[in-house]
Structure formats: C-alpha cells, structure tokens
Chain A
Amino acid sequence: GQNIDQPTEMTATEGAIVQINCTYQTSGFNGLFWYQQHAGEAPTFLSYNVLDGLEEKGRFSSFLSRSKGYSYLLLKELQMKDSASYLCAVSDSNYQLIWGAGTKLIIKP
C-alpha cells in the first residue's frame, strides 16, 4: 500500500528552528509537496521537490532523498503565525497526490 508518515504534533519556540520529517512509500514518485494549513482554512502550497537535495525559499527550506523515501521541511526564525499544520504529499505514478495526516506545529513565545 501507499503510506506517508509524519509526526502528529511538534512544539517549538518563537525565533527557533524546527525540522518536520516525512517518510513515504508510494507506487511511483513524481515529486513531493509541502503545504501549510492554518486551523479552519484551506491548505496552501509551500514547496515542491522532485530531485534530491535542498530547496530554499526564504525562511522555509525543503529537502528530499528519493533513495531513502525521506523529506523534511525546515522552518527558521519561527514566528507565531507559523503555528499551523504542515502537510506532506507525494505525487504517485498516476500523478495523484497521496497525503500524510499532517504535523501540527505549536509555536510558544
């Protein structure tokens, strides 16, 4: 079967750095996405990785290792507004997105 695993919840301090991990097992791979979802709102796109390595976009970076079936999202200089759920999703062989359950990130002052 297809499976995406990520921690259920993480807590971090404002101004700090946090890394959210995602491991996957899917039928085929056409890229990995990270989305942010604030409570009661729709998911919004953060990043896309299809090749191994690190993609940096401002305070957010995303890393992919296809051989290990592993990705992480790195958030730097955490702000209170970063409190949200972070969703990992993999595009499978049919280009359908398989979603993880999401990691709820709690930021404390």
Chain B
Amino acid sequence: IAGITQAPTSQILAAGRRMTLRCTQDMRHNAMYWYRQDLGLGLRLIHYSNTAGTTGKGEVPDGYSVSRANTDDFPLTLASAVPSQTSVYFCASSDSMGGGTDEQFFGPGTRLTVL
C-alpha cells in the first residue's frame, strides 16, 4: 500500500441497504476525514477523526457513522442508504488536524449510486 486507498471504487446500491466504504492509509497520519463531493458543490465534511479512538461530526453527518479502531483504518457506514446519498466519497488523511499546513492527502474516491 502506498498512501491512502479506498474500496470499493464504485458501487450501485438499493435504497435501504447498509453499506460500508473502506479507507486505509499507510502514512501513520493521526487525522482522517470523510468528504462527499457533489456537482456544483464544494467538498463537504461528513465525519473526521483527530486520532485513533476519537471521531467527530462534520458539516453533513446525518445518515453516516464512522469508527477509528486503529491509526490506519477509517470506515464510513451508511446504515440505510437513501438516493440523496448518491455522491463521490473521498477519504483523506493528514499528519494532524490543525497547527500548521496539515496538507490533506486524498484517496481515489468511491462513486456511490443509491437507487
């Protein structure tokens, strides 16, 4: 693994189904983030984690949950998918959250379609 990976690359999901998007980084970054990107809108933060064992809500957390059991993994779960969750989802990581440049590194994204 080099950098940050996401799985699956794309998914078509029936409404009401549960889905977990996976994210793994090998840079030993403390902070990790989940964003969604919709046409005509900026990236919007769903959830974040400052360090393993802690998580926080971003701008659009409703309908999503996350966990951070270890440094490397930060899965995003949709408990019961709805069509409005159709989007491109990006996972990102940074050395820390705040206190400097803290450039965020992004995974390749997951394109999710909820029908």
Q: A101-B42, A102-B42 are in contact. Are A96 and B103 (CB under 8 A)?
A: no
Chain B nearest Cβ from A90, distance in angstroms: 10
0 or 1 for each of A38-51: is its CB under 8 Å from B? (1 = yes) = 00011111001000
* Cα(A41)–Cα(B106), bound, Å: 10
| Minimal Cβ-Cβ distance residue in B for A2 | B59
Interface size class for chain A?
20 to 34
Give chain B's interface residue range (CB within 8 Å of chain A). 20 to 34
Q: Tally inter-chain residue pairs, CB-CB below 8 A.
A: 47
User: Quick check: B40 and A101 within 8 Å, CB to CB?
Assistant: yes
Proximity string of chain A (48-69) to chain B, C-beta cutoff 8 Å, 1 when within and 0 when not: 1000000000000000000000
Tell me the complex Cα distance, A48–B100, Å. Answer: 9
In the complex, which residues 3-18 of chain B have their Cβ closer than 8 Å to any Cβ of chain A? Answer: none
B84-115 with Cβ < 8 A to chain A:
90, 97-99, 101-109
A99 B108 Cβ-Cβ under 8 A? no
Q: Is B41 an interface residue (CB 8 A)?
A: yes
- For the complex, is B61 an interface residue (Cβ under 8 Å from A)? no
Answer yes or no: B43 CB below 8 A from chain A CBs.
yes
Taking beta carbons and an 8 Å cutoff, which residues of B are in contact with A? Answer: 35, 40-45, 48, 58-59, 90, 97-99, 101-109
A residues sitting closer than 8 Å to B (CB atoms) are 4, 30-31, 33, 41-45, 48, 87, 89, 91, 95-102
